[in-house]
């Protein structure tokens, strides 16, 4: 019997048919991947399965029981657990307390058995292979560690259906390996896993079946070994996608950014130059200091010592305002939190950085927003729609558009295509390449080595807060990057 059946699911939001007559099933011991372009309806479908939103029509059954009114609590009690891309732990509570909260019935008079709580937490963390101290505050955990705590919570609740929405988006390769091992174990114990990802190469490693959504409709459900990557892309996009890395050859101009002995807490000293027209890829493991370096350059965490020169002039970057007036633009990694003003429209968000404060030119705003929405294929009913109503990937396209529209002289990109579908990825890469050709100096952080190798003129590799080395485009390979990125390589005897 299926663990889960969804049939005839419909859902519409004002002006958008997010799901149309969708059918989906999950068998015990199955990893069923769900793929599709940004805005295809993936998150909407799993929100219905977790009870977070109600479908307009359709039927959900779990192990043969029809669920009449799906609610989060009801679906949880039927064994559905969601592991979101942004974990939802209470930062000020310890890991053990977070796990306990998920497992224990919440009665006001229940006596708290501390030692039992700790033992249970330790046991569950061991099952996911996480070496995490249960007494640590959840706020001090890294993203991948938080994710493991979420999975430990779900295992503790005896979940049978694990829903994972882009779980690997900000994990390093090693962390991905660990996640896949845990998924393998869950599956071996009979659980079913719904797995959403834009990284198609992952699907071959873990999924049994793949379902493709396009514009809210189920296009196909296939055995993974029956379809190749190209066919999947075709099913998703409805056309062939050729060059994902259309890097143009650009001869580098004058040095735009010059960093000398830059230091901040846990970072540096760092020396790095970026020339006009150059794309410098910044590689390294999660936690190696890549984002911190970008934050220093954008004045979010100013350097404590060292010199930053822009076009030969030393400047003090103490705040984002300083950075913006020096011509620096920044597309941060956590765009949902830092990049986007949810209440404002797509058009307002696109031109936010471009127009001087207090200067509103509605006609111009609208045409710029329309142009970029068209180029990146941003799916939105109109440019006047609030950004909050867009799917995750489409929100990212809006933030990216804003900085591409500003044409700064230095552009810092942190994981520019994270969460962006394959079709749009090619377009984002083409745009980045074009910006470089126009003379922008670009620093691009990415955890995807093919993206780093495909797009960069030079590759700076960070390890434990320092620059472990800089490779030229011609000499760089996945191996040479990893060799520099892995801290153990140098420390080990
Ligand atoms: N709260 C909402 N209000 C209005 N429209 C919404 C809302 N949530 C989602 N939508 C719309 O529903 C459609 C499907 O969105 P969904 O989030 O399911 O896409 P997705 O496949 O998860 O995309 P992504 O890969 O970008 O995360 C999109 O067109 C989106 O704009
Ligand atoms: Mg989504």
List the domain boundaries for the chain. 4-237, 255-491
Which positions ≥6 away from 338 have C-beta within 8 Å?
Answer: 332
pLDDT tier at 490, thresholds 50, 70, 90 = very low
Better pLDDT: 274 or 101: 274
Asked if the domains at 4-237 and 255-491 fall in one CATH topology, the answer is yes
The residue nearest atom 8 of ligand 1, judged by CA position, is 389
- The verdict on domain 255-491 having CATH code 1.10.3720.10 is no
Whether residue 426 has pLDDT greater than 90: no
Percent of the chain with pLDDT over 70: 91
Task: Specify the range with the lowest mean pLDDT, choosing from 59-68, 154-163, 350-359, 441-450.
Answer: 350-359
17 lines ligand 1 (CB under 6 A): no
Segment of 136-145, 260-269, 337-346 carrying the highest mean pLDDT: 260-269
Residue 47: its H or E element:
helix 42-49
Whether residue 201 has pLDDT greater than 60: yes
- Please give the structure tokens belonging to residue 94: 């310890």
- Structure confidence at residue 342 (pLDDT): 73
Q: How far is the CA of 408 from the centre of ligand 2 (A)?
A: 29
The reply to whether omega before 189 is within 30° of 0 (cis) is: no
Whether residue 493 has pLDDT greater than 50: no
Task: Specify the range with the lowest mean pLDDT, choosing from 59-73, 179-193, 347-361.
Answer: 347-361
pLDDT tier at 131, thresholds 50, 70, 90 = confident
CA-CA distance, 444 to 414, in Å (whole number)?
6
Tell me which residue has tokens 């058009």.
347
Whether residue 276 has pLDDT greater than 80: yes
- What beta strand segments (E) does 289-375 contain? 305-310, 313-314, 328-331
| Concatenated DSSP letters of 95-141 | HHHHHHHHHS---TTPPP-HHHHHHHHHHHHHHTT----TTSBGGGS
- Structure confidence at residue 441 (pLDDT): 97
Tell me: the pLDDT tens digits for 307-365?
999 999 999 999 988 998 899 988 887 655 556 777 778 887 777 655 554 445 566 77
Average pLDDT (237-242) is: 67
385 lines ligand 1 (CB under 6 A): no
The residue nearest atom 24 of ligand 1, judged by CA position, is 38
Whether residue 391 has pLDDT greater than 60: yes
- Structure confidence at residue 489 (pLDDT): 46
- Please give the structure tokens belonging to residue 435: 């910006």
pLDDT tier at 34, thresholds 50, 70, 90 = very high
Helix (H, G, I), strand (E, B) or coil at 81: strand
The residue nearest atom 12 of ligand 1, judged by CA position, is 18
CA torsion 465-470-473-475 (nearest 10°) is -120
Percent of the chain with pLDDT over 90: 45
Better pLDDT: 373 or 276: 276
- Structure confidence at residue 52 (pLDDT): 92
CA-CA distance, 157 to 100, in Å (whole number)?
10
Average pLDDT (287-307) is: 93
Say if CB 33 and CB 42 are below 8 A apart.
no
pLDDT tier at 271, thresholds 50, 70, 90 = very high
The pLDDT mean for the chain works out to: 86
The residue nearest atom 5 of ligand 1, judged by CA position, is 389
394 lines ligand 1 (CB under 6 A): yes
19 lines ligand 1 (CB under 6 A): no
Q: How far is the CA of 170 from the centre of ligand 1 (A)?
A: 21
Q: How far is the CA of 284 from the centre of ligand 1 (A)?
A: 32
Better pLDDT: 128 or 255: 255
Closest ligand 1 atom to residue 395 Cα is: 26
Nearest partner of 297 among 259, 261, 269, judged by Cα: 259
Better pLDDT: 493 or 166: 166
Better pLDDT: 428 or 303: 303
Say if CB 393 and CB 38 are below 8 A apart.
yes
The residue nearest atom 31 of ligand 1, judged by CA position, is 390
Global confidence as pTM: 0.75
Ligand of minimum distance to the alpha carbon of 42:
1
CA-CA distance, 56 to 68, in Å (whole number)?
12
Average pLDDT (421-433) is: 84
Whether residue 240 has pLDDT greater than 80: no
- Structure confidence at residue 359 (pLDDT): 47
Whether residue 69 has pLDDT greater than 50: yes
Q: For residue 362, what are the CA distances in angstroms to 351, 353, 383, 385? A: 10, 14, 12, 15
- Structure confidence at residue 357 (pLDDT): 47
4-237 CATH fold: Rossmann fold (3.40.50)
CA-CA distance, 266 to 288, in Å (whole number)?
10
- Structure confidence at residue 244 (pLDDT): 64
Tell me: the pLDDT tens digits for 442-471?
999 998 888 999 999 999 999 999 999 999
Q: How far is the CA of 45 from the centre of ligand 1 (A)?
A: 10
pLDDT tier at 80, thresholds 50, 70, 90 = very high
Closest ligand 1 atom to residue 42 Cα is: 21
Whether residue 12 has pLDDT greater than 70: yes
pLDDT tier at 404, thresholds 50, 70, 90 = confident
379 lines ligand 1 (CB under 6 A): yes
């Amino acid at each position: 019997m299926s663990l889960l059946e969804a049939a005839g699911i419909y859902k519409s939001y004002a002006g958008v048919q997010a799901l149309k007559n969708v059918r989906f099933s999950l068998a015990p011991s199955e990893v069923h991947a769900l793929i599709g372009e940004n805005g295809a309806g993936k998150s909407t479908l799993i929100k219905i399965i977790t009870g977070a939103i109600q479908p307009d029509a359709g039927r959900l059954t779990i192990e043969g029981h029809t669920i009449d009114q799906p609610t989060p609590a009801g679906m949880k009690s039927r064994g559905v657990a969601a592991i979101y891309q942004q974990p939802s732990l209470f930062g000020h509570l310890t890991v053990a307390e977070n796990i306990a909260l998920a497992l224990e019935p919440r009665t006001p008079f229940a006596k708290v058995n501390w030692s039992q709580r700790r033992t249970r937490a330790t046991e569950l963390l061991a099952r996911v292979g996480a070496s995490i101290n249960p007494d640590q505050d959840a706020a001090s955990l890294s993203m991948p560690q938080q994710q493991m705590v979420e999975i430990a919570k779900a295992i503790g609740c005896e979940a049978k259906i694990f829903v994972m929405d882009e779980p690997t988006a900000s994990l390093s390769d090693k962390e991905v390996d660990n996640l896949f091992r845990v998924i393998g174990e869950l599956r071996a114990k009979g659980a079913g896993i719904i797995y959403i990802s834009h990284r198609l190469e992952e699907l071959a490693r873990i999924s049994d079946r793949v379902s493709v959504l396009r514009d809210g409709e189920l296009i196909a459900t296939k055995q993974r070994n029956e379809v190749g990557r190209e066919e999947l892309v075709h099913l998703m996009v409805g056309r062939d996608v050729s060059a994902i890395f259309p890097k143009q050859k650009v001869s580098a101009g004058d040095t735009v950014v010059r960093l000398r002995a830059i230091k901040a807490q846990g970072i540096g000293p760092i020396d790095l130059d970026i020339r006009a027209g150059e794309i410098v890829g910044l590689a390294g493991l999660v936690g190696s200091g890549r984002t911190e370096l970008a934050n220093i350059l954008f004045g979010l965490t100013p350097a404590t010592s060292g010199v930053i020169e822009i076009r030969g002039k030393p400047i003090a970057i103490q705040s984002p305002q300083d950075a913006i007036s020096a011509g620096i633009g920044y597309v941060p990694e956590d765009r949902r939190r830092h990049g986007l003003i949810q209440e404002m429209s797509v058009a307002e968000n696109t031109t936010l950085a471009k127009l001087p404060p207090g200067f509103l030119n509605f006609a111009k705003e609208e045409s710029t927003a329309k142009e970029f929405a068209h180029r990146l294929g941003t799916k939105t009913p109109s440019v006047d729609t609030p950004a909050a109503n867009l799917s995750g990937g489409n929100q990212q396209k809006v933030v990216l558009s804003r900085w591409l529209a500003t044409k700064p002289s230095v552009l810092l990109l942190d994981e520019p295509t994270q969460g962006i579908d394959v079709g749009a990825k090619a377009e984002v890469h083409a745009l980045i390449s074009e910006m470089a050709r126009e003379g922008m100096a670009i620093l691009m952080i990415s955890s995807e080595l093919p993206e780093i190798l495909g797009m960069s003129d030079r590759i700076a590799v960070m390890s434990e807060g320092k620059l472990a080395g800089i490779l030229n485009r011609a000499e760089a390979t996945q191996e040479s990057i990893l060799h520099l990125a892995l801290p153990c390589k140098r420390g080990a005897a």
